[in-house]
């Protein structure tokens, strides 16, 4: 079984400037992902590497169901990202280094313990997760 399956995932963004907002200029379409396919087996560690602007963050945001792909299909643990996003969200967590979704003065483990406490998880459940 594969934990993550992507098949021909594509995503485009429309880059707008103040000129295009005023109707003066023409919007530019930026291709962030172009037919990306990959399968990651269950239980494996996987690294996503590439230069700035290669689409790494876009791909992660699609896997986290924060944005939808324009085309292609994707699943996490056999749950479809588009038709079953709530199932996918129950399986994953995302902490983006550029966002304030964690406390930088705490370690990763301390952050997990802190948020588990906010969710009223018992100590046994905290350790399990």
Residues 21 and 38 in one domain: yes
Residues 75 and 15 in one domain: yes
pLDDT digits (tens, 9 = 90+) for 21-48: 888 888 889 999 999 999 999 989 889 9
> For residue 109, what pLDDT band results from cuts at 50, 70 and 90?
confident
Q: Which domain covers residue 35, as residue numbers?
A: 2-92
| Three-state secondary structure string covering the chain | CEEEEEEEEEEEEEECCHHHHCCCCCCEEEEEEEEEEEEEECCCCCCCCCCCCCCHHHHHHHHCCCCCCCEEEEEECCEECCCCHHHHHHHCCCCCCCCCCCCCCCCHHHHHHHHHHHCCCCHHHHHHC
CA distances, 19 to each of 13, 16, 22, 25 (Å)? 17, 8, 5, 5
Biggest CA pair distance of the chain: 60
* Token pair for 56: 């790494």
Residues 99 and 72 in one domain: no
For 32, other C-beta atoms within 10 Å of its C-beta total 21
Which of 49-55's residues contact partners 24+ apart within 8 Å by CB, and which partners? 55/11
Residues 109 and 83 in one domain: no
Residues 25 and 71 in one domain: yes
Residues 28 and 64 in one domain: yes
Give me the sign of the Cα torsion angle 13, 39, 89, 116. negative
Give yes or no for a contact between 54 and 26, defined as CB atoms under 8 angstroms apart.
no
The number of distinct structural domains making up the chain is: 2
Confidence at residue 63, expressed as pLDDT on a 0 to 100 scale? 94
pLDDT digits (tens, 9 = 90+) for 85-94: 999 998 887 7
Residues 29 and 51 in one domain: yes
Confidence at residue 72, expressed as pLDDT on a 0 to 100 scale? 97
Residues 82 and 101 in one domain: no
Residues 71 and 88 in one domain: yes
Work out the average pLDDT over 41-58.
92
Residues 46 and 77 in one domain: yes
Higher pLDDT, 111 or 87: 87
The CATH number of the domain holding residue 8 is 3.40.50.300
Confidence at residue 34, expressed as pLDDT on a 0 to 100 scale? 97
Residues 28 and 73 in one domain: yes
Residues 33 and 49 in one domain: yes
């Amino acid at each position: 079984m594969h934990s993550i399956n992507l098949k021909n995932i594509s995503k485009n963004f429309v880059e707008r400037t103040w000129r295009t907002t005023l109707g003066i200029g023409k919007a530019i379409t930026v291709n962030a992902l172009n037919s990306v396919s990959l399968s990651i087996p269950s239980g494996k560690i996987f690294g996503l590497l590439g230069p700035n602007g290669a689409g790494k963050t876009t791909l992660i945001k699609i896997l986290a169901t924060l944005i939808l792909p324009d085309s292609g299909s994707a699943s996490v643990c056999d749950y479809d990202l588009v038709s079953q996003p709530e199932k996918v969200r129950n399986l994953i967590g995302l902490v983006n280094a550029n966002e304030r979704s964690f406390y930088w003065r705490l370690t990763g483990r301390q952050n997990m313990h802190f948020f588990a406490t906010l969710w009223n998880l018992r100590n046994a459940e905290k350790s399990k997760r």
